[in-house]
């Protein structure tokens, strides 16, 4: 009886250990895809007025989008056609330089469909442009996602924006997962301001709460340790928080702000949570106001609007239509 019980106990222990090993191995091998919620989306045409950006990555192309930029040239072109396209592109660039004094470079959240997010561009005031990207393996981008790849791709895209629109002030905006990318980008390149929507102090700490039985510090390759990277930030910074947030608790955002090397502007968007904050006019108005007024002497960004009486109806409205 005792021997039989011992064998059953041993078998149960081995089964449990095997289960944990399989679970940990799965999380380790697939952590990039899981952290970024890497899902490809079917091809679709870009809205009018939105131009595609791309650069090569292992496995294909990284894809981004710029509101108001000239269209990308075709593959094979005659010399006359090439010259005509270059002239058209320069005309478009001049129009953007005149119309968009400020450009929001948006680094999206986990698994975010940025083409859906771009419908809210109708809430941006005239003079504010927008650019964003799909992380590797997400949306329409190829490749395998990772922390290092996200930062490198954002840096390369930002260099492109600086080169194509030299007279435009660029403001980096990170949302949720993208805040970790944005903070690291601030150490690599210069830009006018940094804005963070629902930021965290460390992604490792956020994930640890969801996977309490996993030795994440040893297995996790993508820590997004924002509380360490933020010490090198020199850009004027603003943080936007949701009124309630079950994904990134306010305590995580507050620890990050407490570690910031300079004062941080902060606003809470009323009536929002971690997901709906990006769907509110107040959020976009706050982003644009900080971008437009940062660096101006004696001026502070306007407060959030008290109501939405002047909020445009987005139903059926092409957000990319020139205004």
pLDDT over threshold 80, residue 295: no
* Predicted confidence (pLDDT) per residue in 182-223, tens digit: 999 999 999 999 999 999 998 766 666 665 555 555 455 657
- Alpha-carbon gap, residue 63 to 58, rounded angstroms: 13
Q: What is the pLDDT of residue 45?
A: 83
For residue 89, count CB atoms less than 10 angstroms from its CB and return exposed for 0-12, middle for 13-18, buried for 19 or more: middle
* Angle of CA points 136, 137, 143, to nearest 5°: 65
Q: What is the pLDDT of residue 229?
A: 94
Which residue, chain included where needed, has tokens 């990318």?
Answer: 181
Backbone angles phi, psi at 43, to 5 degrees: -60, 145
* Predicted confidence (pLDDT) per residue in 214-251, tens digit: 555 545 565 789 999 999 999 999 999 999 999 999 99
* Domains of the chain, residue spans: 59-293
Q: What is the pLDDT of residue 33?
A: 64
Q: What is the pLDDT of residue 179?
A: 97
Backbone angles phi, psi at 159, to 5 degrees: -60, -40
Can you state the angle between helices 147-164 and 177-188, rounded to 10 degrees? 60
Q: What is the mean pLDDT of residues 288-296?
A: 88
Backbone angles phi, psi at 200, to 5 degrees: -120, 160
Higher-scoring residue by pLDDT: 28, 314: 28
Q: What is the pLDDT of residue 290?
A: 97
The shares of helix, strand and coil residues in the chain, as percent rounded to the nearest 5, are 45, 15, 40
* Predicted confidence (pLDDT) per residue in 96-153, tens digit: 445 578 999 999 999 999 999 999 998 999 889 999 999 999 999 999 999 999 999 9
Instruction: Give the number of other Cβ atoms within 10 Å of residue 200's Cβ.
Output: 26
The superfamily in CATH containing domain 59-293 is Alpha/Beta hydrolase fold, catalytic domain (3.40.50.1820)
Give strand ranges (E) for the chain.
Answer: 50-57, 60-67, 102-107, 128-133, 169-175, 193-197, 236-242, 265-269
- Alpha-carbon gap, residue 70 to 88, rounded angstroms: 8
* Cα→Cα distances 202→30, 179, 186, 244, 255, Å: 20, 10, 17, 19, 10
Q: What is the pLDDT of residue 210?
A: 62
């Amino acid at each position: 009886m005792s021997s039989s019980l011992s064998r059953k106990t041993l078998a149960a222990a081995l089964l449990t250990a095997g289960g944990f090993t399989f679970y940990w191995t799965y999380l380790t091998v697939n952590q990039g895809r899981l952290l970024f919620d890497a899902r490809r989306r079917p091809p679709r045409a870009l809205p009018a007025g939105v131009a595609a950006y791309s650069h090569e990555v292992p496995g294909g192309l990284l894809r981004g989008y710029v509101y108001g930029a000239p269209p990308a040239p075709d593959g094979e072109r005659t010399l006359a056609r090439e010259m005509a396209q270059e002239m058209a592109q320069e005309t478009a660039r001049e129009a953007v330089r005149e119309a968009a004094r400020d450009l929001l470079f948006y680094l999206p959240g986990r698994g975010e469909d940025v083409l859906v997010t771009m419908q809210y561009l109708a809430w941006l005031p005239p003079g504010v442009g927008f650019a964003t990207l799909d992380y590797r393996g997400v949306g329409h981008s190829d490749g395998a996602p990772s922390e290092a790849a996200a930062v490198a791709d954002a840096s390369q895209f930002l260099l492109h924006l600086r080169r194509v629109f030299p007279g435009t002030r660029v403001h980096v905006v990170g949302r949720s997962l993208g805040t970790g990318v944005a903070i690291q980008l601030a150490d690599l390149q210069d830009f006018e301001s940094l804005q963070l929507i629902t930021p965290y102090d460390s992604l490792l700490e956020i994930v640890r709460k969801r996977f309490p039985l996993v030795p994440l510090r040893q297995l996790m390759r993508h820590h997004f340790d924002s509380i360490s990277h933020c010490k090198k930030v020199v850009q004027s910074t603003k943080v936007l928080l949701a009124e309630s947030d079950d994904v990134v608790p306010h305590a995580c955002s507050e620890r990050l702000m407490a570690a910031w090397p300079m004062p941080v502007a902060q606003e809470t968007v009323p009536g929002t949570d971690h997901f709906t904050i990006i769907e509110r006019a107040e959020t976009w108005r706050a982003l644009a106001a900080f971008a437009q007024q940062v660096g101006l002497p004696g001026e502070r960004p306007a407060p959030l609007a008290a109501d939405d009486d002047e909020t445009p109806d987005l139903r059926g409205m092409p957000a990319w239509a020139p205004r």
